[in-house]
Structure 1
């Protein structure tokens, strides 16, 4: 029996070697095929608040981007490839936003980034985007320094409001609607508040209008009565408010406790979530700026997008369910404009896409018909003419006639 034993051992060794070779060959094939498969799609990334008080806004942005992507892919995608969206939650935290942006660029190899809700997060991502030469498209955050960042080669574009323009609109509205003579400011204490403080001061100076005072407050503050009391004692006849959902609701509730029925003219922070629920009935007193509304008479394009929204997201039953509309509309137009740039560039290389943004001639969008929306001296596609004022009514954001 010794001979068969040696044969068995030899056969076992040969089989083992063959198995190892096959495994190595399979692993090598998998390693080679993985990048090839990845190249079959073009990835685009989104960094936005998908949890916390602003989750509703993040959801709206995803819906707008996804609707546009459906249309793009239905027409064959870009550069002959399907386009996919990779989403990361920044939790409204600048440090987490930068980590997410790095992962999307360096690991996921996205051709472009879309950036979400919070100005502090977007401001933190801007230097990385410019250094990496990856186009960064803003779809919500309005801080002026996001696009006007001073970079020699600026890779940051935006389809959204811009603080410096919003502040002029807020001042004009307060004068026209409320005959404001001495407005006060109640501003969130972060870079977004700072951006609007500078913009409001400049806009008021242009009108030779004095302000009663400037008060700051924190995201976590539950009582803003001391700050509001100082503004009241200083003679404020209108309040300019800049803050997101939860802190804005605390301002309204503090005013209720004081019994001070002062008009509130706000940036669009309250639109980003459950403001009417958190602030209560007095939420209807707040007049805030927007770039789009699905309420009222709609264009054929808006009718088409609304129908697609309802078809894709069956949970949408009423117009209150598409709040905030700006997140959907800004993101929808931004995705189509980015797709146009990639198609014009004929490439997913950042520098080529950046130059192609400047070459876009026209695009018939949801918010408006765009004509040469970007240039090296202006990387914001929307102007003050694209703003409207709105308010909450039973959970729905309705346009105001001013």
Structure 2
């Protein structure tokens, strides 16, 4: 096994470059491995999502190594906990590149953390593959030489999909927005405004709230008074649950069409029964009839992680699926480059012709103009039922 998993055996706060950063313990390996690093939230409210990402990457690593590895070397995954903190994320990324000498980075959950890492990745010329954070500027960052790629949702596309779903499902005419007050919320505010403008629809209002808010009634009351007939929600697990509980306190039964934040952890537990009313976007589900690839990955997950008994144990599936496909695409690029040198790997991403992945079969997934492998055609809408994330009929 090439992935460190002894998270609880080490103090999460160590000094790196004179500052505090959380580090996951890593056993000693031979120097002839090909190192790849992950910076993600492995603790806190998003730990379940971080675990899903590690699992997806790990299953892919096992498959790759069973076939001989890459460039004649076994792949080694090194994991760092960013604690959903941008400063710690950057420090962890620097440590992985400068001390561990990783050939590529995978980025985790939070748009603010990924946005903080982007300038470093581009400056260091190290491929940085996003597997969860959906902020549009992560890949569309304006760099002359862009080293950031992604197998995940993209806010600007998600926002169009949210609006289309709200119109089709609820006949929305005056939607309101309830958005987390950070760069992820800003990315979606911009995308939703553009999507609404294209349809000549006016928003009932735009309200912001903080991660730690436990009462969002004032913001929701303003949206209700403005006549909102649907709410677009963008926030991670804990703040999303507070929106649902605040709606319950108000007695306002308004439809919620959400970005995928609720999928990242214990949302159904935190939000209570009304959490099942939230419809949210995903890129993959292990529910229903699976492709041969899906069956194989699910079987590998159950074998590697015996605690997986039901579909609730592979929630959130997007963390697993995005990460699995991302690892395979990253190693394909390295193999095509015949090198771990960043500029050569970057060019090799554009040379990937076809990859039969878990989410879909990728055909020329990356170009110099487009560093996002997934499109709006790859999104599905889902909801929570008995702890499982299940697809909805769109």
Q: With structure 2 as the length reference, what TM-score do the two structures score?
A: 0.92
Correspondence 1:87 to 2:55: no
Correspondence 1:151 to 2:143: yes
Match of 1:99 among 86, 91, 94: 91
- Cα deviation digits, residues 58-83 of structure 1 (max 9, x gap): 00000000000000000110110111
Q: Of Structure 1 and Structure 2, which has the larger fraction of its residues in helix?
A: 1
- Cα deviation digits, residues 197-247 of structure 1 (max 9, x gap): 000000001111011000000000000000000000000000000000000
Report how far residue 94 of structure 1 moved: 0.2
Which residue of 2 is the match for residue 279 of structure 1? 271
Which residue of 2 is the match for residue 386 of structure 1? 378
Correspondence 1:212 to 2:185: no
Q: Secondary structure at the match of 1:186?
A: strand
Report how far residue 52 of structure 1 moved: 0.1
Q: Secondary structure at the match of 1:401?
A: coil
Match of 2:175 among 183, 189, 192: 183
Which residue of 1 is the match for residue 332 of structure 2? 340
Report how far residue 38 of structure 1 moved: 4.7
Which residue of 2 is the match for residue 315 of structure 1? 307
Correspondence 1:163 to 2:155: yes
Cα distance in structure 2, aligned partners of 1:40 and 1:265? 48
Q: Which consecutive unaligned segments of at least 5 residues does structure 1 have? A: 1-36
Cα distance in structure 2, aligned partners of 1:340 and 1:74? 15
Match of 1:141 among 113, 124, 133: 133
Cα distance in structure 1, aligned partners of 2:69 and 2:32? 11
Q: Which runs of 4+ in 1 moved over 2 A?
A: none
Larger radius of gyration: 1
Q: Secondary structure at the match of 1:356?
A: helix
Cα distance in structure 2, aligned partners of 1:163 and 1:84? 31
Which residue of 1 is the match for residue 106 of structure 2? 114
Correspondence 1:366 to 2:335: no
Correspondence 1:356 to 2:348: yes
Correspondence 1:226 to 2:212: no
Correspondence 1:237 to 2:209: no
Which residue of 2 is the match for residue 3 of structure 1? none
Cα distance in structure 2, aligned partners of 1:233 and 1:172? 24
Report how far residue 155 of structure 1 moved: 0.0
Cα distance in structure 2, aligned partners of 1:192 and 1:80? 40
Cα distance in structure 1, aligned partners of 2:188 and 2:267? 21
Q: Which consecutive unaligned segments of at least 5 residues does structure 2 have? A: 1-28
Q: Secondary structure at the match of 2:192?
A: helix
Report how far residue 39 of structure 1 moved: 3.5
Cα distance in structure 2, aligned partners of 1:39 and 1:213? 56
Count matched residues: 366
Which residue of 1 is the match for residue 48 of structure 2? 56
Q: With structure 1 as the length reference, what TM-score do the two structures score?
A: 0.91
Report how far residue 297 of structure 1 moved: 1.2
Which residue of 2 is the match for residue 73 of structure 1? 65
Which residue of 2 is the match for residue 304 of structure 1? 296
Cα distance in structure 1, aligned partners of 2:361 and 2:75? 24
Q: Secondary structure at the match of 1:185?
A: strand
Cα distance in structure 2, aligned partners of 1:321 and 1:167? 28
